[in-house]
Amino acid sequence: MNRKVTVVGGAGNVGATVARGIADKQLADVVVIDIADQKAAGVALDMLEACPISGSDSRVMGTGDYAESANSDIVVITSGVPRKPGMSRDDLLNVNYKIMQQVTEQVVKHSPNCILIVVSNPLDAMVFVAKQVTGFPRERVIGSAGVLDSARFRTYLAMAAGVSVEDVQAMVLGAHTDKDMVPIVSAAMIGNVPVAKFLSPEKLQEVVESTKKGGATLTGLIGTSAWQAPGAGTALMVEAIVRNQGRVVPCTVELHGEFGVKDAFAGVPVKLSARGAERIYEIELSAAEKEAFTKAVAANTELMNIARGFLG
Ligand code: NAD
């Protein structure tokens, strides 16, 4: 039997991009669920009709009925409102926490053993809400943002250094917010050579700033939040789990003492396998990065506590 992945919010920009990424590579059969049920059916049919072209046998269907999602191996949640120019991701908390609560209640009812990948913003608080509502172990509630933010960091590093992005290894940890994401310069490498050999401290600072406001830059240009790179990043996470690849990428998870943090959520390096977030790796941070990471955890915790109040 084929694997089954459900994408809730899949009629929207990010969800449809994730679903297409999964179907294109024939990673699983895909169920697109959306409150806009007719649009979900149409978006799914369009994707199904792309499968003969991409050479995929994935079955794709769209609906508003969660019964169709029953026994999914993975459920990706992108439902919610995206930010508009001038908004911060945190501004979305009031609206999106309610949607996250409703959606996760349905998901856990129909797919009690699934691995959840949360994409909706404000990301770190939404991962908390999903974990609270489902009661799943932390291995099965994973936030998608680190792959995206790291891809943006790698892109800006490659452009500044004038090298192929393929040889740039770099990650972003902490929070998925403009203010509190932490691009880890101390561990960033180009072809196994530290980035400081390629770029001056001033240039590196410019790259860090561009990365941090990467999402806002796109929201300003497009008029709504980006979806190509966010969708591709989430599809990469699905692939790592479906194919049990053991990829090590930054994801948002609950910390149980790692990095000196307990009962809080942050983006950290995670091994993704068939078990979900199988393992967390602690790395050495510079003093400035440590301070920024601590600030990120505090910001996430503040938002988490507001969401906890909503949940009652
Ligand atoms: P979108 O408006 O295009 O899509 C959202 C979809 O959710 C819509 O189709 C809508 O009908 C659906 N929806 C709303 N309420 C629902 C409910 N109760 N049940 C089922 N479906 C529901 O927005 P988008 O650009 O795809 O963004 C989706 C979310 O992802 C936003 O919260 C956005 O901020 C977030 N996002 C996160 C990242 C990341 O890296 N984590 C990146 C980009 C966007």
Q: What pLDDT, in 10s, does the model give residues 87-122?
A: 888 788 988 999 999 999 999 999 999 999 999 999
Task: Say how far residue 288 (Cα) sits from the centre of its chain.
Answer: 25
**Is there a cis peptide before residue 112, judged by omega within 30 degrees of 0?**
no
Q: For residues 151 and 134, state if they share a domain.
A: no
Q: For residues 160 and 118, state if they share a domain.
A: no
Q: For residues 106 and 163, state if they share a domain.
A: no
Alpha helices, DSSP H, located in the chain: 13-24, 37-54, 93-110, 123-134, 146-161, 201-212, 214-222, 228-242, 287-311
| 178-195 pLDDT tens trace | 999 999 999 999 999 999
Task: Say how far residue 295 (Cα) sits from the centre of its chain.
Answer: 20
- Mutation to probe ligand 1, out of 32, 75, 79, 148 (largest number of atoms < 8 A from CB): 79
Residues of the domain holding 153? 146-311
- Nearest alpha carbon to residue 278 among 307, 240, 309, 305: 240
Structure tokens at 19: 């679903």
Q: For residues 165 and 301, state if they share a domain.
A: yes
The average pLDDT across 276-285 equals 97
Tell which of 99, 127, 143 closes a domain. 143
**pLDDT at residue number 34:** 98
- Residue 1's pLDDT band, with cuts at 50, 70 and 90, is low
Q: For residues 131 and 150, state if they share a domain.
A: no
Q: For residues 15 and 152, state if they share a domain.
A: no
- Nearest alpha carbon to residue 144 among 41, 75, 222, 230: 230
176 classed as catalytic? yes
What is the total residue count of the chain?
Answer: 312
- The answer to whether 62 touches 43, Cβ cutoff 8 Å, is yes
Sequence-separated (6 or more) residues with CB below 8 Å from residue 258: 268, 280, 282
Overall domain count for the chain: 2
- Nearest alpha carbon to residue 300 among 274, 266, 269: 266
Q: For residues 242 and 284, state if they share a domain.
A: yes
Tell which of 143, 173, 195 closes a domain. 143
CATH code of the domain covering residue 277: 3.90.110.10
Q: Active site residue: 20, 89, 131, 176, which one?
A: 176
| 41-60 pLDDT tens trace | 999 999 999 999 999 999 99
**C-alpha–C-alpha distance, residues 227 and 209, integer Å:** 21
Residues with CB under 6 A from ligand 1: 8-9, 11-15, 34-36, 78-83, 92, 96, 99, 102-103, 119-121, 123, 144-145, 148, 176, 224-227, 230
pTM, full prediction: 0.97
Q: For residues 106 and 136, state if they share a domain.
A: yes
**C-alpha–C-alpha distance, residues 92 and 97, integer Å:** 8
Q: For residues 171 and 91, state if they share a domain.
A: no
Q: For residues 302 and 179, state if they share a domain.
A: yes
CATH code of the domain covering residue 18: 3.40.50.720
Tell which of 82, 111, 143 closes a domain. 143
The average pLDDT across 147-174 equals 98
